[in-house]
């Protein structure tokens, strides 16, 4: 077919068009199947269908890329048809999840320990290569970057990353595809973890040489660079006395290394191993720093009210509700609650449940998950506003005077490598720059803009 039509002027155009329509129809059908399977309540687990969808889209891409290279002799017209077809269905949302998020979750599944994708090292490398190729078709690359960064942070901080080499490998591939700016923060995160391990080794040496300074608890501190990592909430939690000593000892060590850096403690990311001495046996509890702070209050008091706990710890109501629910209403009832209901209210009283037992000697007490999607989308929207501002100022600085339509189209062109800017958002940012005296409208022609140096 290709050999027959390629000899005719413009003969390949209708063939490429049919090829594009066929791929679009097949890809859209895959997305619809995933939607239907997810909305069907019998689906095996949340997120499974979305992961299957990404795997199928990768297989679809392999299949039609082989057609382009073998049957259509790498003709640019068919490469363009393939690209345009994939751009159509790769930017559809599945059950409220953007394709950027699905792709980031798929990568997370491959790269974390115990992920659902059990692959050999070669297969992982090959799959990551294909994922990065798919990313080229997604318009919201900045959204992918933010979701990926959040998931990378969790893998690195909680030691869930299966292999450091694979982490670096995908960052190299992303850098080639999207540029150095796209991966600079992620590369900084991976480097941070290596430096943090060295820092921890130095801290342990410091404790060995200053035995009087030892806090009496094994302490591991991960020092991170603020600019590289996602922003985390840091509260002034009133730490138990045992933990206060740990913080002071580490501050003393850190000040011997540098006087110019300020440490901000992010307790929400901390993990504690504490021994619970129950009637039947002692069980090691793996809990968050916040959960540990709540439990340690019961060393000094047999019974505490909700209001007493919140006064002791200086936490927000939302955070304390999650903590107390995980310790008294969930699978492991370390605390007993009065009244014995499934929800936490401000008038409840709590006691240490000495009758608690479990067949395991070590248990992890999970916290209810927090949906971070809304925050990620908000962060990306904020970054986009700054990116639009910067693009508009860059264009106007070089052109000095420019018409409205041309300014908008140049701005879209500059930003389209990372995301597809909304025209209304660009107009809004232009008005904002006028009020901030970066631009002004021409007095004779309202559609002309001037740059104000």
Whether 329 and 425 map to the same domain: the answer is no
Whether 37 and 149 map to the same domain: the answer is yes
Question: Could you tell me the CATH number of the domain that includes residue 314?
Answer: 3.30.230.130
What does residue 273 show for φ and ψ, rounded to 5 degrees?
Answer: -110, 115
Of the residues 205, 228, 262, the one at which a domain ends: 262
103-136: burial string, b at 16+ Cβ within 10 Å, e else: bbbbbbbbbbeebebeeeeeebeebbebbbbbbe
Whether 158 and 281 map to the same domain: the answer is no
Q: Which domain holds residue 439?
A: 372-451
Asked if residue 440 belongs to a domain, the reply is: yes
Which residue carries 């299957």 as its tokens? 52
Asked if residue 233 belongs to a domain, the reply is: yes
Whether 253 and 278 map to the same domain: the answer is no
**Assigned token pair, 210:** 């200053």
CB within 8 A of 17, min separation 6: which ones? 81
Of the residues 141, 174, 207, the one at which a domain ends: 174
Helix axes 404-415, 373-399, angle to 10 degrees: 130
Residue 439 β-bridge partners: 451
What does residue 308 show for φ and ψ, rounded to 5 degrees?
Answer: -65, -40
Residue 446 exposed, middle or buried by CB count within 10 Å (0-12, 13-18, 19+)? exposed
Strands 282-288 and 362-364: parallel
Q: What is the DSSP string of 222-266?
A: ----TTTSPP---------HHHHHHHHHHHHHHHHH-SS------
Check residue 46 and give its pLDDT: 47
Asked if residue 64 belongs to a domain, the reply is: yes
Whether 242 and 330 map to the same domain: the answer is no
- CB count in 10 Å sphere of residue 216: 9
Check residue 44 and give its pLDDT: 45
Whether 211 and 285 map to the same domain: the answer is no
- Quick one: which of 106, 115, 120, 109 has its CA closest to 55? 106
Asked if residue 180 belongs to a domain, the reply is: no
Question: Could you tell me the CATH number of the domain that includes residue 14?
Answer: 1.20.1310.10
- Quick one: which of 389, 437, 380, 432 has its CA closest to 411? 389
Check residue 429 and give its pLDDT: 92
Asked if residue 285 belongs to a domain, the reply is: yes
Question: Could you tell me the CATH number of the domain that includes residue 406?
Answer: 1.10.10.10
- Assess contact for 156 and 108: CB atoms under 8 A: no
Asked if residue 325 belongs to a domain, the reply is: yes
Check residue 27 and give its pLDDT: 93
Of the residues 239, 262, 285, the one at which a domain ends: 262
Asked if residue 184 belongs to a domain, the reply is: no
Asked if residue 179 belongs to a domain, the reply is: no
Whether 138 and 59 map to the same domain: the answer is yes
Residue-by-residue pLDDT tens, the chain, 453 positions: 666 566 676 767 888 899 999 999 999 999 998 888 877 755 444 467 778 899 999 999 999 999 989 888 888 898 999 999 999 999 988 877 889 999 999 999 999 887 666 778 888 999 999 999 999 999 999 999 999 999 999 999 888 888 888 999 999 999 998 888 899 999 999 999 999 999 999 999 998 888 878 888 888 999 999 889 988 877 778 888 888 888 899 998 998 888 888 888 888 888 999 999 998 899 999 999 999 999 999 988 888 999 999 988 888 888 888 889 998 888 888 999 888 888 888 888 999 988 988 889 999 998 877 777 888 888 899 999 999 999 999 999 999 999 999 999 999 999 988 888 889 999 999 999 999 999 999 888 888 999 986
Whether 447 and 382 map to the same domain: the answer is yes
Check residue 378 and give its pLDDT: 86
Check residue 37 and give its pLDDT: 81
Whether 331 and 257 map to the same domain: the answer is no
Check residue 373 and give its pLDDT: 81
Total domain count, the chain? 4
Whether 132 and 59 map to the same domain: the answer is yes
* Cα–Cα–Cα angle for 335, 337, 338, rounded to 5 degrees: 160
Whether 350 and 251 map to the same domain: the answer is no
Whether 258 and 275 map to the same domain: the answer is no
CB within 8 A of 426, min separation 6: which ones? 388, 392, 408, 411, 412
Residue 34 β-bridge partners: none
């Amino acid at each position: 077919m290709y050999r027959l039509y390629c000899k005719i002027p413009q003969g390949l155009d209708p063939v490429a068009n049919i090829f594009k329509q066929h791929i679009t129809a097949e890809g859209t059908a895959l997305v619809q199947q995933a939607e239907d399977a997810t909305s069907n309540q019998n689906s095996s687990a949340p997120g499974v269908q979305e992961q299957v969808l990404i795997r199928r889209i990768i297989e679809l891409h392999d299949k039609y890329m082989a057609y382009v290279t073998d049957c259509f002799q790498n003709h640019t017209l068919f490469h363009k048809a393939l690209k345009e077809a994939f751009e159509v269905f790769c930017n559809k949302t599945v059950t409220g999840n953007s394709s950027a998020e699905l792709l980031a979750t798929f990568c997370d599944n491959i790269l974390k320990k115990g992920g659902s994708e059990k692959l050999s090292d070669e297969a992982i490398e090959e799959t990551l290569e294909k994922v990065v190729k798919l990313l080229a078709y997604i318009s919201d690359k900045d959204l992918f970057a933010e979701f990926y960064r959040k998931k990378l942070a969790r893998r690195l901080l909680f030691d869930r990353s299966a292999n450091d080499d694979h982490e670096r490998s995908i960052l190299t591939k992303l850098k080639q595809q999207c540029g150095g700016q796209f991966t600079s923060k992620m590369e900084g995160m991976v480097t941070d973890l290596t430096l943090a391990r060295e820092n921890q080794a130095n801290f342990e040496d410091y404790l060995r040489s200053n035995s009087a300074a030892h806090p009496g608890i094994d302490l591991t501190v991960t020092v991170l660079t603020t600019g590289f990592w996602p922003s985390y909430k840091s509260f002034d939690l009133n730490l138990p006395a045992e933990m206060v000593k740990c913080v002071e000892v580490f501050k003393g060590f850190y000040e011997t290394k540098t006087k110019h850096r300020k440490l901000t403690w992010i307790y929400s990311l901390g993990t504690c191993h504490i021994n619970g001495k129950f009637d039947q046996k002692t069980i090691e509890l793996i809990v968050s720093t916040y959960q540990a702070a709540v439990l340690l209050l019961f060393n000094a008091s047999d019974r505490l009210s909700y209001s007493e706990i919140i006064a002791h710890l200086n936490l927000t109501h939302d955070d304390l509700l999650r903590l107390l629910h995980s310790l008294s209403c969930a699978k492991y009832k370390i605390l007993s609650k009065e009244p014995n209901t499934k929800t936490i209210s401000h008038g409840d009283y709590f006691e240490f449940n000495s009758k608690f037992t479990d067949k395991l000697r070590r248990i992890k007490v999970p916290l209810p998950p927090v949906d971070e999607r809304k925050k990620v989308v908000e962060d990306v929207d904020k970054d986009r506003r700054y990116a639009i501002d910067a693009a508009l100022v860059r264009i106007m600085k070089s052109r000095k005077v420019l018409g409205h339509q041309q300014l908008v189209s140049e701005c879209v062109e500059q930003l389209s490598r990372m995301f597809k800017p909304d025209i209304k958002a660009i107009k809004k940012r232009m008005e904002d720059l006028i009020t901030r005296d970066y631009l002004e409208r021409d007095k004779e022609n309202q559609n002309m803009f001037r740059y104000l140096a």
